[in-house]
A and B are shown apart, each in its own frame.
Chain A
């Protein structure tokens, strides 16, 4: 009895499997086309046979990087190349393609065989999996972030004031926005303000509004952000950078649930929920007398600490995917990801600017990348320099840090330790200055330049 299966049996097997299979001759004309190939491409076999494979298969690889062409040229098989085709319902179908030579019993090459598997379900599961690591606009698989994600719905429902702490660029505003969206106030406005960016009087007029005649130029009543937020959420970012006088006024609003517009006599009731954030250690500031203890306890009902990116490096691939997806959408491109070597460079960096820095790096790569993948050469120079070890980076970094410390200390002294003025002179944002003070452990005297105003 022969060990070989009859030809009909082979055909039955080909018709039964869920992988699409087709064969081509040396002129790229389709010779056979199985049932799964019909289903995945949407093209009936009778229309496919005898046609050029690219007319039927319609993959984005056909024109420039055809796996079958490489197989025919090099005599090698290629396994599970990820790509997509466009089916007859105008849909992109993600597939994995394998190719090999088609030979007869004598070993003569008759053409090529292409097998392909519909990866739509895999892609869907991948999206769902990513979804389980997501909360609002944030994604993370780190334990610290997963703990925050787990309690976020209850925190959102509680309606309590929340204090979010984390270095600059860790996503404090995104977390606040997620809290708002998960709360019963989701249909109401979410209003954010950076308290550290405005002087006291301007900050108060922004928050509480003013009445006509309150000051020169106030020719009409203007509602503040408390009124704009109404029954929604007001996010006070950089709360640690506010003056003692402002802290007193804010405390009063939080305790009495009403505020007074500048130049007004009446008090307006408010039900706005307050979320506050800072990149500073508020408890330490309270201990040092730089932040009011009573306000601290008033806003610190629920405390959420966002970890810096260097403590959640496992999130980098997930974040990179998210940023690429976002930029593909905005810029109408089809960048598939970053190369393995580029990912290695990204994973070797310590991200003082946190997620914002990573996003900027990916955007930089996106601009320079003309092809499917972001390569090492597309990343910013400072990352590549560090990676290549050019010019003894440790020594360069030491020198840089030394001169940076000297410049910061000199600027602070010149401005009587007024951080805002020193940051302005150095041409950096004050939150960057605070980060550097912390990083280099620069001790400041008790006096605060602002109190000298």
Chain B
């Protein structure tokens, strides 16, 4: 499975719009089998979508992302894990292991805020914290 992450200084890029580098990793049986960096076409969404399609990216891990862009990505069959933050290798490691990613969710985004919940079809979990009573 090809997984893409917008990266900035070894971390997940804070805002998708401003991200300039894309790390694409190949996950084989919960292990990172290959990784490559790609420059992100400057602010051209359609070129970015074409790049993801050419690289056969199934999942995009990124920082803050507005709803319109999330819909565009999802309409092209890309599953989006947005509003995540932290060290890229740690996030990828947790993702590959199918671990809970709640610890990497940006502040203010717990309890289902910031994004619609992605389909959890591959065993990974994100932001499942329930509202406290």
Q: Which residues of A contact B (CB under 8 A)?
A: 41-44, 47-48, 51-52, 54-56, 58-64, 85-86, 88-92, 331-335, 370-372
List 7 A-B pairs, Cβ < 8 Å: A47-B110, A52-B85, A64-B18, A85-B64, A86-B15, A89-B113, A331-B44
* A90 contacts B66, C-beta separation under 8 Å: yes
Question: Main SS of chain A's interface residues?
Answer: loop
* A48 contacts B108, C-beta separation under 8 Å: yes
How many A-B residue pairs lie within 8 Å, measured between CB atoms? 81
* B106 contacts A334, C-beta separation under 8 Å: no
* A332 contacts B107, C-beta separation under 8 Å: no
Question: Does B96 belong to the interface (CB within 8 Å)?
Answer: no
Q: Which residues of B contact A90 (CB under 8 A)?
A: 65-67, 70, 114-115
| Cβ-defined partner of B108 (8 Å) among A47, A52, A91, A334 | A47
Q: Which residues of A contact B106 (CB under 8 A)?
A: 55-56, 58
* A63 contacts B8, C-beta separation under 8 Å: yes
Given contacts A63-B15, A88-B113, A91-B67, 7 further A-B contacts (CB under 8 A): A52-B85, A55-B14, A56-B107, A60-B15, A85-B64, A89-B113, A89-B114
| Cβ-defined partner of B17 (8 Å) among A41, A91, A334 | A334
Q: Which residues of B contact A47 (CB under 8 A)?
A: 107-108, 110
Minimum distance in angstroms from B87 CB to a CB of chain A: 12
Q: Which residues of A contact B113 (CB under 8 A)?
A: 42, 88-89
* A43 contacts B65, C-beta separation under 8 Å: no
* B115 contacts A334, C-beta separation under 8 Å: no
- Near A by CB (< 8 A), chain B positions 1-23 give 8, 13-15, 17-20
Question: Main SS of chain B's interface residues?
Answer: loop
Q: Which residues of B contact A (CB under 8 A)?
A: 8, 13-15, 17-20, 42-46, 63-67, 70, 72, 83, 85, 106-110, 113-115
**In the docked arrangement, what's the CA distance between A139 and B60, Å?**
40
* B108 contacts A41, C-beta separation under 8 Å: yes
| Cβ-defined partner of B15 (8 Å) among A41, A52, A58, A91 | A58
* A64 contacts B20, C-beta separation under 8 Å: yes
Minimum distance in angstroms from A86 CB to a CB of chain B: 4
Q: A63-B8, A88-B114 are in contact. Are A56 and B108 (CB under 8 A)?
A: yes
> Which of A58, A64, A331 has the most C-beta atoms of chain B within 10 angstroms of its own C-beta?
A58
Q: Which residues of A contact B65 (CB under 8 A)?
A: 86, 90
| Cβ-defined partner of A63 (8 Å) among B19, B42, B46, B85 | B19
* A62 contacts B18, C-beta separation under 8 Å: yes
* A63 contacts B44, C-beta separation under 8 Å: no
* A48 contacts B107, C-beta separation under 8 Å: yes
**In the docked arrangement, what's the CA distance between A61 and B66, Å?**
15
**In the docked arrangement, what's the CA distance between A2 and B91, Å?**
53
**In the docked arrangement, what's the CA distance between A61 and B64, Å?**
13
* B18 contacts A332, C-beta separation under 8 Å: no
* B108 contacts A43, C-beta separation under 8 Å: yes
**In the docked arrangement, what's the CA distance between A90 and B45, Å?**
17
Minimum distance in angstroms from B66 CB to a CB of chain A: 5
Q: Which residues of B contact A52 (CB under 8 A)?
A: 85
**In the docked arrangement, what's the CA distance between A188 and B65, Å?**
41
Q: Which residues of A contact B107 (CB under 8 A)?
A: 43, 47-48, 51, 55-56
